[in-house]
Amino acid sequence: MAETNSQVYIHVIMVVKKNQHSIPGDKQHPLHEFIMETLGTNNQKPIIVNGTTDHVHILLAMNPNYSISEIVRETRNATTTFINRNKWVRGRFCWQPSYAAFSYSQSQVEALVRHIQNQEAFHQHTTCRQEFTEFLKKYNIEYDERYLFCFPEEGR
């Protein structure tokens, strides 16, 4: 019997729409646990989920039978419903339409896990927007700053 063996590490960053700090501090851990459960239910192997009030980092060993866009769409849909059903925010919670996804080798995973674990300390001196664009630059991903996110000060 033939089998497929793979280990594809993907790091996803999802940002709250308009970069608003709308994930309450006391709800972050339950949200991260919910994301881990959702990924597992969707045949993915979550490694770590963490973030702050305005974004979430996800590191997973991706099942190659799925696309990154399918994984992100399912995760965003499930978390949006979860947050809105539990009324964690005023009004309606929503993620930015854009997200980032990066691939990693086994040798890079430990350092990335440390970075994701230390989000609270890291963001005492770096904004979500700065971190996001630093990742894009690090991986030589071209982008147009005007269309990267909808930020409240820009009225989009």
Average pLDDT over residues 35-56: 96
Residue scoring higher pLDDT (82 or 1): 82
The pTM of this model reads: 0.90
CA dist 117 and 115 (Å) reads 5
CA dist 26 and 151 (Å) reads 24
Residue 25 pLDDT exceeds 80: yes
Q: Which CATH number fits domain 8-107+116-149: 3.90.79.10, 3.30.70.1290, 3.40.50.300, 3.40.50.450?
A: 3.30.70.1290
Average pLDDT over residues 35-57: 96
Domain ranges of the chain: 8-107+116-149
For residue 92, how far is the Cα from the chain centroid? 19
Q: CA torsion angle for 30, 36, 48, 138 (degrees, to 10)? A: -110
